[in-house]
Amino acid sequence: MRSSILLILLSAFALVSCEKQVSPKEPAPTETAEVIEAVADPKLSVIRINSTRQKWNPGQPWEKQPSRKRRSLAAVVGTNQVITTAEMAADATMIELESIDGKKLAQGRVISIDYEANLALIGLAESESESTFFEGLVPLEIAEPIGLGATVEAIQVEESGNLLVTRGPVQSIEVVANFLPGEYFLTYVVKASMQSAASSFSVPALHDGKLAGLLTSYNSKDQLCEITTTEILARFMADAADGDYQGFPSLGVFTTRTEDAGFRAWLKIPEDGGGIYVARVRKEAAAEKAGLKKGDVITVIDGYEIDRMGYFEHPVYGRTYWSHLVRGAKGAGERVTLGILRDGEELELTAELERRDRRNELVPGYLFGQAPNFLVKGGLIFQELTRPLLEAFGEEWKSRAPLNLLDVLENSEKYEERYDRVVFLAGVIATPATVGYEPLRNLIVTEVNGKQVRDMKSLIAAFDEVPSDGLHSIEFDEENFKVYLDEVVSTGVDSQLLQRGLTKLSRAE
């Protein structure tokens, strides 16, 4: 049994520790799915994947949440390899491969994963070196890119082993975020009514017997499927082939449309000209290194003219958003040519594209497979700010999360010179060391004992240096607010917390 101190801790963080639940979109019943005989070829190229996932608790970062299980279909794409969505492998403690008939099982491992593109290449675990799991299975070829109106076949398998193929046309091709917010990739939007009897978290999609993509979501009301496009799939596979996966690059700019006539006149854009306005250039990004500046207008990318809304005419996909020319059509290390308008003058720049890892940002966008950093000192709980932590405030987190923390996320450039990661006081456990501090929470830490706090490591190091009077001073960004913590009392409290249920007091990785 945990003590009353831990019970107070649990109740104090009840709101923050609630995991945001995102249930897989369940297909609705349909009569349009075609039941194929068990000997049909697609059945020889798909397997089931079972994953056990366990996330870290955002409100109590020293422990994990209860484990959850997911089940989906994956496509065989190479020698002892299958491809699935990154969602299936994110925070996975166990990945199991299962034959369609359920007679074969093998432990799997992640070979390459891209959380941003929502793709994962899975192979056999090292312990399965003698496995015959893939015997008799036929790898699928990757299809050529397809355009509007092309027919896509979503492959499902019932528990009985019957194969279901649901056919539908590509209704539109859009650049959307299908897993992580802000991570936009080219996606097929297919009109089809999926079969609920064989529902799965994700399923392969074929075109003319070849792998065209992976279904990432399904809207049963509108009967619309979102499917990762063939081009994204093929680039991911090519990048992962050498075992040194680099990932999809970014240019590092934030843009806005130029539809307003007054805005266009101020930018000196010709009446019949197009282009998108560069509202911000991320520090040290590919765009900045190439010489792109805030206020420039991007009019051409690799020979494609960009219109006022940011679209260009693709030879296969039709009207497509400009970002695909950088993130999808190109890989890390490749170059892109930009035609720009600067104060009415036409210029040409060349940018060498780089991968942007959101885990290394001021406010990481995700922490899959990575434990959150924290420090518990005398009952004060410090954490590094992350987007998942903000999302733990619930579906309305953008209005419910503390305004000062939201400002860091939305205006990170204001904080980048002072912080590598923003550390804040997440909450307070009522202990003899924190009397009077119980209401404090969500305050950004600037200094401890006169030492600047740039991340969790520097915070822990600052606490390790005990002042001569035995009182730690902690300063916060909000109105230069300062509190004090007695070293002797807080050390005694820390020992009690470890004895009464806390697994550890700090992490800084």
- Per-residue pLDDT tens over the stretch 123-161: 999 998 888 999 999 999 999 999 999 999 999 988 888
Residue 486 pLDDT exceeds 60: yes
Instruction: Determine the pLDDT at residue 37.
Output: 36
Rounded mean pLDDT, 439-452: 96
Rounded mean pLDDT, 478-498: 92
Kindly state the percentage of the chain with pLDDT values over 70.
91
Residue 338 pLDDT exceeds 80: yes
Residue 358 pLDDT exceeds 90: no
Going by their DSSP bridges, the two strands 311-314 and 318-321 should be labelled as antiparallel
DSSP structure string for 135-166 = TT--PPPBPPP--TT-EEEEEEE-TTS-EEEE
Residue 310 pLDDT exceeds 50: yes
Instruction: Determine the pLDDT at residue 11.
Output: 39
CB 173, CB 148: distance < 8 Å: yes
Kindly state the percentage of the chain with pLDDT values over 90.
78
pLDDT digits (tens, 9 = 90+) for 222-279: 999 999 999 999 999 999 999 899 999 999 999 999 999 999 999 999 988 999 999 9
Rounded mean pLDDT, 204-221: 93
pTM score over 0.85:
yes
Instruction: Determine the pLDDT at residue 197.
Output: 64
Instruction: Determine the pLDDT at residue 163.
Output: 86
Q: Comparing 71 with 38, which gets the higher pLDDT?
A: 71
Q: Comparing 128 with 28, which gets the higher pLDDT?
A: 128
Paired strand residues for 428: 380
Residue 340 pLDDT exceeds 60: yes
Instruction: Determine the pLDDT at residue 173.
Output: 96
Domain ranges for the chain? 151-240, 249-355, 360-507
Residue 194 pLDDT exceeds 50: yes
SS (H, E, C) 42-60: HHHHEEEEEEEECCECCCC
Q: Comparing 131 with 174, which gets the higher pLDDT?
A: 174
Instruction: Determine the pLDDT at residue 198.
Output: 65
Q: Give the three-state DSSP class for 223.
A: coil
**Which residue in 277, 307, 314, 309 sits closest to 293, CA to CA?**
277
HSE at residue 401, side-chain half, CA atoms within 13 A, is 23
Q: In terms of CATH architecture, what is 151-240? A: Beta Barrel (2.40)
CB 359, CB 220: distance < 8 Å: no
**Which residues neighbour 302 within 8 Å (Cβ) at sequence distance 6 or greater?**
325, 329, 336, 337
Residue 199 pLDDT exceeds 50: yes
Instruction: Determine the pLDDT at residue 38.
Output: 30
Q: How confident is the model at residue 120 (pLDDT cuts 50, 70, 90)?
A: very high
Domain 249-355 fold is Pdz3 Domain (2.30.42)
Domain 360-507 fold is N-terminal domain of MutM-like DNA repair proteins (3.20.190)
Paired strand residues for 191: 224
| Spatial distance between the Cα atoms of 144 and 178, rounded to a whole number of angstroms | 22
Instruction: Determine the pLDDT at residue 311.
Output: 97
Instruction: Determine the pLDDT at residue 21.
Output: 34
| Spatial distance between the Cα atoms of 113 and 252, rounded to a whole number of angstroms | 22
Residue 23 pLDDT exceeds 70: no
**Which residues neighbour 456 within 8 Å (Cβ) at sequence distance 6 or greater?**
373, 374, 375, 382, 384, 421, 423, 506, 507, 508
